[in-house]
Each structure stands twice: as structure tokens, then as C-alpha cells.
Amino acid sequence: MLLSFHVSQLLFFKTAQAILDVRELYLEASLADLYDELTMSPELRKAHIANDKAVWEAYGRAWPFEDETACVAYLMKLYQKIVE
């Protein structure tokens, strides 16, 4: 389902703020520490998944996406349409 621009924008703000809120819990950590695949906090991972879901669904795609390669391919197709 393709979301309206305003609904998408509200979801982006909400999910982006959730990421920032979680990162504030770990002010002493570097970005490398925060985003280490082996040690990323469950809260931060959950916030990013929610953000990914909001972005993906704004493009009218079902969540979860098939795989990362399919996701990038789809986004590149959209980009190609814009720059043509």
C-alpha cells in the first residue's frame, strides 16, 4: 500500500526520532560501537528495523523486503526513473 506523503513523513519523523532517542542512551559509545553488527543493542536494532519498514512501505512495498539485493535493485530502478 502506497502511503500518502504526509503519513510517510510523520512515520519517518517518528522512527528517526526513536533512533536518536536510543542513541542518547549510549552517549559514551562511538558510532562504530553503536553499529557493530555483533554488539548493536537490541533497542537500536529494533528502532532501525522500524525505520526501514516505514521507508519501504512508503514506496508501496510489502515488508519485509525480499532481501537486501532486491531492495537496492528496486531503489536503483526508482532512481533511474528520476534521472532519466
Predicted confidence (pLDDT) per residue in 33-80, tens digit: 999 999 999 999 999 999 988 888 887 777 777 677 888 888 899 899
Number of domains forming the structure of the chain = 1
Terminal C-alpha separation, the chain: 25
Contacts of residue 25, Cβ cutoff 8 Å, sequence gap at least 6 = 41, 43
Residue 28 structural domain: 5-83
pTM: 0.75
How far from chain centre, in Å, is Cα 21? 15
